[in-house]
Amino acid sequence: MTEEMLINPIEKLTEQFPADWLKADERSGYSGYIVQREHLLEFARTMRDDYGFDYLSMVTAADYLEEGFFEVVYYAYKTIGGPALVYKVQIPRTDAVVPSLIGLYPGADFQEREVWDLLGIRFDGHPDLRRILMWEGFEGHPLRKDWKEPFFEEDVKPYKSRWPEGKPVFIDKENPFDDNVQYPEGFDPDHWTPDQDTLLYAGLVKKASNEEFKTDQLVVNMGPQHPSTHGVFRMVVSLEGETIIDLKPVMGYLHRNHEKIAERNTFLQNMPFTDRLDYITSMSNNFAYALAVEKLMGVQVPERADYIRVMMAELTRIMNHYFATGFLLNDLGAYFTPSLYSIEERELILDIFEEVSGSRMMCNYFRFGGVVRDVSDHILKKIHDLVYDRLPRKLESLDAYLTNNEILRSRCEGVGVLTAEQAIALSAAGPILRASGVPYDVRRADPYSIYDRFDFDVVTGNHGDIYDRYLVRVEEIRQSIRIIKQVLRDIPAGPIMTGKPPYQVRVPAGESYGRVEGPKGEMGFYIVSNGKPNPARYHVRAPTFINLTSLAPMSRGEKVADVVVILGAIDIVLGEVDR
């Protein structure tokens, strides 16, 4: 790997490889390279080892029904910063198999399983290709364009009137079972054996039992209803005594079909749905989605709107890190008292959100080309008071009580360690990645919006343990306060929206990927438009979903009491994990 390759890598990439390996993607609005399936592994390895694209951020696929192929899309980055390398593999719909990249990038694990589950593309060489969001035995692959849900009405919204001839139409009544279900023809419910998770349990690592102590291995299910799993998340833990031998996360208990619904919605109708992804950080989700669509539309955001966006995104980060810290203490056993303090600060920020957007949690505040309402001087004054007085004061007291607390340190130091190499390979993002010592922050590495104007530090840790993740979060609150202070100093007057707010946006055909550094990591939206009012493909790169890939490597060898804390330090939100 030469220095020149590091700085200027992806120009004329086609000349570096044999002609039949890859070609540039020349469809209008598209970018990147189309790689032949046979050479995918070799190409990916060369790009990782020789060109430095060591971070596979996103794997997804799109169904091009009319053209008759699936396209598997890969977004790789360098952890030293810079734009993406996009490569795709096109495969016929009748022969949907691609080689798995899990050997090169272990972080592709869950994402490939998700593609298999929702689109039915097999990944050759994946060791554990089970369904991940739906259950084993579910009929069909829902994100295929020719698959229709039981409550199917029309292909795209807006639907026809639900009040034809003055009478309401209820979709439930159209269904023969008066419910949201459908069965394949000839299905016999009397002879159906439900899946007993055989494959799941068989996949757990087994160790020869210890002859000396006569210990036995025990498989414990935690969740989906468990007070420590932050929602409906399930872990299957294989234990020897109290030590964890293996762990497998099971998710999908909150899979509410965001992507399928979004492909029926119009572009603007999706904005409120993004709020409900990571429901603690709705503003940040809005931001990523707005960026992705704006990239396609080519609209410029007015100055004032940009400043407002940054301010709201940073307030969200403060709020999220407070919440995460409070609940980390909950998981440690300091039951509810610390989180009551953190919720108190969160409420103050929610007051601001309610004032600007009308809703406490589901803000729906961003629009393509700006924000929906202006921020009054009264709110600016409130934010000013918060960042100059209340938040720093409370943060110092949090710091004083917790950071050097003996119990906290002894429970967190050296637990759940993830080295920098592991974190990069597992595609970890956000505070998890930075606590392992990788200074990768999208705001710096690939600046979006107006983040290049602000002065702030990328916070990193040294040890990659839970304690460092806690420290990174606390320090990130300080940096966010610093950014908001600069925003308040510089925010100009002016319009908050480019042009008139449209009822229906026109999005030219093409693909785009908008990403922001959300509080939990890289939040991204991959959107394919075919020029119609609805996205042809809409995929969410959910940071906590991919961060969960590192849960098993972090937990192996730890005690069962610590796995709760390790999960708490990842800071998952199930709305985003399952989508």
Partner 1 sequence: MVFPCIPPNSKRCIMSPEGLTKPEYQVPDELQSQVSLTTLDRIYNWSRLNSVWPMMFGLACCAIEMIATAASRYDLARFGMEVMRPSPRQSDVMLVSGTVTKKMIPQIVRLYNQMPEPKYVIAMGACASSGGPFKGGYNVVAGVDKYIPVDVYIPGCPPTPQALLHGLITLQKKIEGESLKTVSWYQKGPSVPIPVPVLGPDLIDVRKTALIREKSKPAPETEAQEPSAGDVTDKPADGEIAAA
Count of residues of this chain found to bind partner 1 when the rule CB under 8 A is applied: 67
Q: C-beta of 518: minimal distance to partner 1 in Å?
A: 16
Phi first, then psi: give them for residue 202, nearest 5 degrees. -70, -25
Which region among 107-115, 142-150, 289-297, 304-312 touches partner 1 (by CB under 8 A)? Answer: 142-150
Decide: helix, strand or coil at residue 528.
strand
Nearer to partner 1, 485 or 539 (CB): 539
Contacts of 293 (CB under 8 A, 6+ apart): 267, 368, 505, 507, 512, 514, 527
Q: C-beta of 230: minimal distance to partner 1 in Å?
A: 8
Burial-class residue 19 by CB neighbours within 10 Å (0-12, 13-18, 19+): exposed
Contacts of 304 (CB under 8 A, 6+ apart): 374, 491, 492, 493, 494, 495, 496
Which of 164, 166, 176, 298 is the binder for partner 1 (CB under 8 A)?
Answer: 176
Residues of this chain, 231-270, that bind partner 1 according to CB under 8 A: 231-232, 252-258, 260-261, 264
Closest CA to 285 of 363, 340, 339: 363
Which of 316, 339, 534, 549 is the binder for partner 1 (CB under 8 A)?
Answer: 339
| Distance, CA of 206 to CA of 130 (rounded, Å) | 19
Q: b/e per residue, 444-463, with b = 16+ CB within 10 A?
A: ebbebbebeebebebbbbeb
Which of 137, 494, 502, 557 is the binder for partner 1 (CB under 8 A)?
Answer: 137
Which region among 120-128, 356-364, 460-468, 513-521 touches partner 1 (by CB under 8 A)? Answer: 356-364
The amino acid occupying position 254 is L
Which of 296, 420, 563, 574 is the binder for partner 1 (CB under 8 A)?
Answer: 574
Q: C-beta of 236: minimal distance to partner 1 in Å?
A: 15
Radius of gyration of the chain (CA): 24
Q: C-beta of 549: minimal distance to partner 1 in Å?
A: 20
Residues of this chain, 279-298, that bind partner 1 according to CB under 8 A: 279-280
Q: C-beta of 224: minimal distance to partner 1 in Å?
A: 6
| Distance, CA of 396 to CA of 118 (rounded, Å) | 46
Which of 37, 39, 276, 482 is the binder for partner 1 (CB under 8 A)?
Answer: 276
Binding mask 198-237 for partner 1 (x = CB under 8 A): --------------------------xxxx---xx-----
Q: C-beta of 150: minimal distance to partner 1 in Å?
A: 7
Which of 128, 149, 240, 399 is the binder for partner 1 (CB under 8 A)?
Answer: 149
172 binds partner 1 (CB under 8 A): yes
Q: C-beta of 168: minimal distance to partner 1 in Å?
A: 14
H/E segment holding residue 540: strand 535-541
196 binds partner 1 (CB under 8 A): yes
334 binds partner 1 (CB under 8 A): no
Bridge-based pairing of strands 97-99 and 122-124 is: parallel
Q: C-beta of 190: minimal distance to partner 1 in Å?
A: 5
Question: Cα 165 from chain centroid?
Answer: 44
Whole-Å CA distances, 295 to 145, 386, 422, 508, 513: 25, 33, 32, 10, 8
Q: C-beta of 538: minimal distance to partner 1 in Å?
A: 14
Burial-class residue 89 by CB neighbours within 10 Å (0-12, 13-18, 19+): buried
Which region among 54-62, 79-87, 144-152, 560-568 touches partner 1 (by CB under 8 A)? Answer: 144-152
Laid out side by side, the sheet with 22-24 consists of: 22-24, 33-35, 85-92, 69-77, 55-64
Q: Taking a C-beta distance cutoff of 8 angstroms, is the pair 290, 368 a contact?
A: yes
Q: C-beta of 193: minimal distance to partner 1 in Å?
A: 6
| Distance, CA of 259 to CA of 545 (rounded, Å) | 15
The residues that touch partner 1, with contacts defined as CB under 8 A, are 133-135, 137-139, 142, 149-153, 171-172, 176-177, 179-196, 224-227, 231-232, 252-258, 260-261, 264, 272-273, 276, 279-280, 339-340, 343-344, 346-347, 350, 360-362, 574-575
